[in-house]
Structure 1
Amino acid sequence: METQKIYNLVILDASGSMEVIYNQALTGVNETLATISRAQETHPELQQYVTLASFSAGDDFLNRIYSAKPIAEARNITSADYPLLGCTALYDAMGTCISELQQRVCHGDRVLVTIITDGYENASRTWNGRQIKSLVQELRQMGWTFTYIGADQDVEKVAGEIGVCNALRFSANAEETAAMFEKEGRSRTRFYDKVCCEMRAPDASLAESDDYFADDDTPEALEDILKSEAKGPR
């Protein structure tokens, strides 16, 4: 059976302001792990790996919970795995996590990067926005998919500043945070379905689209999109 490796990178804000939605964020991340696990069962041809890191600021700004671990070996995380501390070194978290994952990814592997934050970058020491945007744009051309999920901000503007075209906004309250994770789960499942369709249509374009969070992609619609892509640019 032909197989396809998928590396799921989740970069999660662990700054102090996340306390308002902490329980929902913790539950939501575990729901994300469950979604990846279900996809592995539904599509055994997809070999799912997960890298999960939370970030704050300071000398120990990055908390590597999982590093390219097979999803079958990833348990639910607890509050001990996800402590909150300090400010928001978003650029440093992205640059470090993406660079580390680059060392593992081979040609033909698929990568889905998910960034979840309730605030703006304010504490990075090593990476800046220009460097992150350049890195993201380079990897998008190689087939990586990036999504940015932000609370109470102009997510399209912020995501655009770091080269990301798939963005989702939510409000930092319990109800909207739970709804956001539900939507992300649906979008993630649809992404995996599309990868499976692409495996059956090897001439389809692997370029990232800007409709990751769209809610109207039925399996039939995915097939039509892939047939169109295989014929060339629309």
Structure 2
Amino acid sequence: MRADLTDVTLIVDRSGSMQSIRKDAEGGINSFVESQKAVPGELLVTLVQFDNEYEVVCQAIPVANVPYYRLQPRGATALLDAVGRCIDETGVRLAAMPESERPGLVTLVIVTDGRENSSRRYTSHRVAEMIEHQQSVYQWKFVFLSSDLNAVADAEELSIPEGAMAHFNADAVGQAWHVLGDKVVAARKARALHRDVEIQFSDDERQQMQ
């Protein structure tokens, strides 16, 4: 396992309701990617966008090669299907790597503006089991950001740590991505020094998202 290698997956809601914050959300995602480029160590980025369909924009590529992201809202919110499928695909990908080459830090970030409303393959119970397993056995980190307080409450049922969940105001989505970028930078640096990593938002950081 390589302490200097981080694997980050962004699971981004592109459902139709994202239209009202499209520009700021798009800018925030691209700024997040830029914020990671100057950090020592290697970072592999996967970007998945979902509505009632699931699309991989890029998968496990060096952060320097991540394409500029353009958000085009449409469709409904199959959140559980997106998260469940992404966990499965990430697990298969990492399992295929030699143990000595696997990332020392694996983080999945879920960003949405609404609640689950159209998943068909995965249930909340199943996704919660998957998240709990990856956290306890493989020390994966999960982060959940949403502009919908009800969605944040729903995330508690998915076994995501309370400290890693945060609500942001719709007009502060760009700032939410900025705060997230700082947290990931800190986590990468800590892991490179072989320190334990916990991604938790402070009260001040939560306030910045309002």
CA distance in 1, matches of 2:185, 2:179: 10
Q: Does structure 2 conserve the Cα–Cα contact (< 8 Å) formed by 1:48 and 1:70?
A: yes
Q: Does structure 1 conserve the Cα–Cα contact (< 8 Å) formed by 2:3 and 2:191?
A: no
Per-residue CA deviations over 1:71-93 (Å, capped at 9, x if unaligned) read 12212223xxx321111000000
Q: Does structure 1 conserve the Cα–Cα contact (< 8 Å) formed by 2:16 and 2:73?
A: yes
Equivalent pairs, count:
194
Q: Which has the higher contact order (CA 8 A, sep 6+)?
A: 2
The answer for the alignment partner of 2:118 in structure 1 is 123
CA distance in 2, matches of 1:136, 1:197: 26
CA distance in 1, matches of 2:11, 2:38: 21
In structure 2, give the amino acid aligned to 1:7: D
Offset of 1:215 from its aligned partner?
A: 7.5
The answer for the alignment partner of 1:77 in structure 2 is 69
SS, match of residue 188 in structure 1: helix
Offset of 1:147 from its aligned partner?
A: 0.3
1:112 aligns with 2:107: yes
Q: 2:44 aligns with which of 49, 56, 67?
A: 49
In structure 1, give the amino acid aligned to 2:54: L
CA distance in 2, matches of 1:3, 1:191: 11
CA distance in 1, matches of 2:69, 2:26: 8
SS, match of residue 84 in structure 1: coil
For the aligned residues, what is the CA RMSD? 1.9
Offset of 1:152 from its aligned partner?
A: 2.7
CA distance in 2, matches of 1:88, 1:12: 11
Q: Which runs of 5+ in 2 are unaligned?
A: 205-210
The answer for the alignment partner of 2:167 in structure 1 is 169
Q: Which runs of 5+ in 1 are unaligned?
A: 199-203, 217-234
The runs of at least 4 aligned residues of structure 1 exceeding 6 Å deviation read none
Identical columns (%): 25
The answer for the alignment partner of 1:26 in structure 2 is 26
TM-score normalised by L of structure 1: 0.77
The answer for the alignment partner of 2:183 in structure 1 is 187
CA distance in 2, matches of 1:38, 1:129: 37
- Which region of structure 1 is more displaced relative to structure 2, 47-56 or 181-190? 181-190
The answer for the alignment partner of 1:88 in structure 2 is 77
SS, match of residue 56 in structure 2: strand
